[in-house]
A and B are shown apart, each in its own frame.
Chain A
Amino acid sequence: MDQLFNRKYIVQGLFIVIALILLGKLFYIQIISDKAFSSAESNVLRKIYKYPARGAILDRNMKVIVQNEPVYDLMVTPNEVKPFDTLGLANALEITIDDVRKKLKKARAQSNYQATFFERQISVQSYARLQEIMYRFPGFRTQDRTIRHYPDSIAGQLFGYVKEVSPTDIENSEGYYKPGDFIGKSGLERSYEDFLRGEKGETRILYDAKNIAQGSYANGKYDVNAVSGDRLISSLDIRIQRLGEELMKNKVGAIVAIEPSTGEILAFVSSPGYDPNQLVGKDWGKNYMSLIANPYRPQIVRPIAGQYSPGSSFKPVDALVALQDGAIDPNTTFFCPGYYMAGNHKVKCEHVDGTINMQRGIARSCNTYFCHVFQSIITKNGIKNQRQTYANWHEQISKWGFGQKLGIDMPFEKKGIFYQGDHYDKIYGKRWGYTTVISQAIGQGEITSTPLQMANVMAAIANRGYYLKPHLIKGIGDKNVVKKEYVVKNYVGVDEKYFPIVIDGMRDAVNSPWGTAKESQIPNIVMCGKTGTVQNPHGKNHSVFIGFAPMDNPKIAIAVIVENGGFGGSYAAPISSFMVEKYLTDTIKPRSNGYTVKAFSETNLLPALIDKTKKVKLTKLDSLNLKKTDSLKRVKDSLKIKPAIIKQTVATKPKINKPIVNHKPVTNK
């Protein structure tokens, strides 16, 4: 019996071992692993989001230019839906029964447990009707949120648009965005997304296993209210913005106006423009498709994505760099027989001015003068050192912002073309010299710039030697925070003493009888400027004007480009003069030459659309020309630019003529 008595310990030992196994597993799942805890939370907690209002945007005079308006979405949580009166819901929403079924199916496909959109932006009438009968549709609820409204209906490209986040956005945000959130996709809405979006609020609701709400979690201790986005103050003056868009009607082109002392952008016109309200809400898809189907491509943000040869408007920079370099002095004169011979290539001049000095050379936009200036700079250390002097020159010009992004607070800025010497080394080996790149002397050939860069050059000249980073938002939030980078002066490397002679020339260009922009004189205001005419192989030349006003203590610097506008003096300069006058005096006085805003607004300069058959021919011809002429005449105009915005959102590209077309030798006026 004793032996069997010992078996007691085996039985009791087994009990204890098993108890320890149970406790061990319990210790693991309760104390070591916290997986169960988080699973428990996700079991019972549902977060109901409260969407914040996006930040409003004001113009520089505190007028609201971007605001919000309430809309109502009908949400559905499919597995809470019980059989319901389909017809009743269809009638309330003014859709068909089939639509109701389709939408429910779609929602089910998305998620059975999460509330998803059933119908976006239901009308106020539908909303009112629904409120009375909502109890008949378990699983459905209305959700109010705000959408953008742009009261002036202008500056579509500038403001950009806001849209529901895509799966890519969600992925890139590392979990910040959730399906159903909205995000700024382009323009200011995109670049200031972090400030504008605000903070989502959330309410935690407990749900039971049958997915029926059981009230708030921990008495709302963890609930968060939505915080509206920051208010932004734009540097824009909506009055001249509106005027600019008016003037650019029926034209392709861009206007950028900058306050030189601050770098604040006063006007940012991209033409053709569109009403930003088109890209709000449920008609987004339809309107977006019609926008990108427009052959004049309004979706391009031309002030920063349009790359144009600066043309003659480059000449003041040329002159200033030459003066600083010591290649010439203010009194240097050259003889103009009406052309300049660069090797055996002739650069034509519109006038035969004979002996001409710098001031008059600028006012008359003399190509011969500036080709000589360029020659002087590049060859100042002898023919053999041309590549070195070109490198120096390239560096000096670059300081003005050519060939690089200025870093404006807008997405998708282009930097333009401005090649370093090694680019030419690749094409010509070491056997190239000033004659090869002479077209750059007059802002043509292998140099392009955005309208923003051109306006910025004007701001630098207006400031006599420096610019501030151009920007569109001058204050963020209630405290009007200004980004630090916007108060830093960027010097262009030219001493102040060299500016008066060039500015005098620019004054004469507008205010003297021999000036190229004499038709654009503004009563009682001295505007300094420079015209440019960029030859366009598809049709009429592009009209360019850059300028600033008043001459002393300038308040506005401006760049205008009107595609197919012909001479710089004929469209770009008068448009600039209206903009400047409006900004400085808030009125536009009658002009002695009879120019009116209305007349300019009504002028249609849209290029005729090239049909497909003709296009093929043109391309062939062009490619022949390309071989014949100098390599330096390739220019893209904005109609040929690959649109950055489209590239990232929509696959379809409007079918329009091919991008690369050469330019013939350029004549500037």
Chain B
Amino acid sequence: MMQQQGNRFFFNVDWITVLIYIALCAVGFINVYASIYNPDKAAGFDFASSYGKQLIYVITGLILGLSILLFDGRLFNVFAPFIYGATLFLLVVVLFVGRNVGGNQAWIPIGSFRLQPSEFAKFGTALLLARYVSTFNPKFRDFKSIVIAGLIVLAPLLLIMLQPDTGSALVFLAFMFPLYREGLSGYFLLIFLGMIVLFVADFLVPTYVLILILTTIGGLFIYNNRRKQKIIISTVLVTMIAIAYLFVVKIAYEKVLAPHQRSRIELMLGLKADNKGAGYNVIQSQIAIGSGQATGRGFLQGTQTKYGYVPAQSTDFIFSTIGEEWGFLGCSVVIGLYMFLLLRLINLAERQRSTFSRVYGYSVACILFFHVFINIGMTIGIIPVIGIPLPFISYGGSSLWSFTILLFIFLKLDSNRMGFI
């Protein structure tokens, strides 16, 4: 069997996933075309234009993906530390030689091409994490393994924060899920969820009310478990930490976040109405999507997206073109494609014999999930504006290629699922 695999590169590849990948790339190309389409200059196909470039990116991306299938899957396991190290190195380099685009020191210019290391850091981190888990099989019961896994994730995260590119950094939180799958306590997820809830609540409800609520809940919990001393102590501890967190958040919010980030959060929470300034993007994006109604205005018929009302049209806000021109129907199809892909990736990950492949598969699915959720959520105003691309659809070579590499490495690993890596 091993022999067979070695001779036939594409044996056992999950072609359904490849088809969904191609479908999403096609959706991307069509909408990038639509978002920059200009009826006055519609003559001929222009490779110098954004949609021309996007077509090149898609084609080269596909070639890149297929060529990844040519590698021996075991190489990724072997080279994981090197790849991770290289991406970390690039993340450091970019802080010094990076080109500043839109306030972020995120790009390394290589000739006429610009490389965005943060995109590649994702699969570097995923590989090393998979390697760590598969090698030491830690189960995350002890403090040490949690710290090591945390460091693997936090190192690139913090470097990206320094660019500063908060959006891309947030995506690294997706690694919580693969760790959870591998045994990390569910409390970590709950604590994380609790932190988000408290963070949001801290803005909407006066702090003393929150303190009251927290102590009440804690009190009730202690009363119910009044015979168990251990639970009482930990409850008191958790409640106090939660209350302290409220104040830390308030202070951190003022001191750490940049003004534009603060206003984005306030806009999302409805604390501030700003139609012209920071709120402009979100409002225009929602108007564009909403005006698509059930079936959309039709291909190339969007007015909001066509006439420049929605900024970052072909990149971060590409979903507004889909919403306007294809309506609820089109949005459902796109979200449906993503869901199909994500659920399938989880299923594929679960059928792996090797822990390395499973952890990597989970990482891929969860990174994609974070991107999709944050990006679409941002365009329809349920998440603050966080500038990260919509996988396979947003315009741009770096992101498309990095997602392709991310995905196709997993497909290669999956095709090897019968073997042990």
Show the binding face of A for B, using Cβ within 8 Å.
4-5, 7-8, 10-12, 15-16, 18-19, 21-23, 25-27, 29-31, 33-37, 39-41, 43-44, 206-210, 214
Contacts and interface: CB of A to CB of B under 8 A. Distances in A.
A47 to B, nearest CB: 15
Interface in B241-298: 284, 286-294
A55 to B, nearest CB: 37
A210 B308 contact: yes
A485 to B, nearest CB: 50
Interface string B299-315: 00001101111000000
A31 B308 contact: no
B290 A29 contact: yes
Given A11-B365, A15-B342, A44-B307, 13 more contacts: A4-B183, A5-B350, A8-B346, A15-B343, A19-B339, A22-B335, A22-B377, A25-B380, A36-B286, A36-B288, A40-B287, A40-B291, A209-B307
Given A23-B332, A26-B331, A8 B181 contact: yes
Nearest to A3: B183
**Most A Cβ at <10 Å: residue of B288, B307, B380:** B307
Contacts of A5: 350
A100 B376 CA distance: 49
Nearest to A39: B287
Interface of B: 177, 180-183, 186, 284, 286-294, 303-304, 306-309, 323-324, 327-328, 331-332, 335, 338-339, 342-343, 346, 350, 362, 365-366, 369, 373, 376-377, 380-382
A29 B380 contact: yes
Shortest beta-carbon contacts, A-B, top 10: A36-B290, A208-B307, A40-B291, A209-B308, A29-B290, A30-B328, A44-B303, A39-B287, A209-B309, A37-B291
A11 B181 contact: yes
A5 B287 CA distance: 42
Contacts of B177: 11
Contacts of B181: 4, 7-8, 11
Nearest to A210: B308
Which of A18, A40, A207, A208 gathers the greatest number of chain B CB atoms within 10 Å?
A: A40
B343 to A, nearest CB: 6
Contacts of A18: 369, 373
Contacts of B331: 23, 26, 30
Contacts of A26: 289, 323, 328, 331-332, 335, 380
A55 B342 CA distance: 69
B373 A22 contact: yes
Contacts of B304: 40, 43-44
Contacts of B377: 22
A508 to B, nearest CB: 82
Contact of A206 (B186, B307, B382): B307
Given A22-B380, A30-B328, A31-B293, A40 B303 contact: yes
B350 A15 contact: no
Nearest to A29: B290
B339 A37 contact: no
Contacts of B291: 36-37, 39-41
Given A11-B346, A209-B309, A214-B307, A35 B373 contact: no
Contact of A29 (B180, B289, B306, B332): B289
A208 B177 CA distance: 44
Contact of A11 (B294, B309, B362): B362
Given A11-B180, A11-B366, A37-B291, A30 B307 contact: no
A40 B288 contact: yes
A15 B303 contact: no
6 contacts: A8-B181, A8-B350, A23-B332, A40-B288, A43-B304, A44-B307
A40 B339 contact: no
A41 B303 CA distance: 9
A115 to B, nearest CB: 19
A210 B307 CA distance: 8
A23 B335 contact: yes
Contacts of B328: 26-27, 30-31
A115 B223 CA distance: 71
A387 B365 CA distance: 102
A419 to B, nearest CB: 61
Contact of B294 (A4, A30, A40, A41): A30
Nearest to A25: B380
Contacts of B284: 43
B289 A36 contact: yes
Nearest to B309: A209
A15 B369 contact: yes
Given A25-B380, A26-B323, A210-B308, A16 B287 contact: no
Contacts of A25: 380-382
A36 B292 CA distance: 9
A26 B296 CA distance: 12
A19 B369 CA distance: 10
Nearest to A214: B307
Contacts of B369: 15, 18
Contacts of A22: 335, 373, 376-377, 380, 382
A111 to B, nearest CB: 15
Nearest to B381: A25
Contacts of B338: 19
B290 A30 contact: yes
Contacts of B339: 15-16, 19
Which one of A4, A11, A31, A37 has the highest number of Cβ atoms from chain B below 10 Å of its Cβ? Answer: A11
A44 B309 CA distance: 9
Nearest to B283: A39
Contact of B327 (A10, A30, A208): A30
Contacts of A19: 335, 338-339
Given A22-B373, A29-B289, A36-B291, A4 B335 contact: no
Contacts of B180: 7, 10-11
Contacts of A33: 290
Contacts of B350: 5, 8
A212 to B, nearest CB: 9
A43 B287 contact: yes
B77 to A, nearest CB: 21
Contacts of A4: 181-183
A601 B243 CA distance: 98
Nearest to A38: B291
Contacts of B308: 208-210
Nearest to A43: B309
Contacts of A214: 307
Given A25-B380, A26-B328, A207 B290 contact: no
B309 A29 contact: no
A207 B307 contact: yes
A441 B288 CA distance: 79
A30 B329 CA distance: 10
B367 to A, nearest CB: 13
A21 B289 CA distance: 16
A26 B382 CA distance: 10
Nearest to A26: B331
Most buried by B among A12, A30, A206, A209: A30
B295 to A, nearest CB: 10
Contacts of A21: 382
B275 to A, nearest CB: 10
A26 B377 CA distance: 10
Nearest to A208: B307
B308 to A, nearest CB: 4
A18 B369 CA distance: 9
A35 B293 CA distance: 11
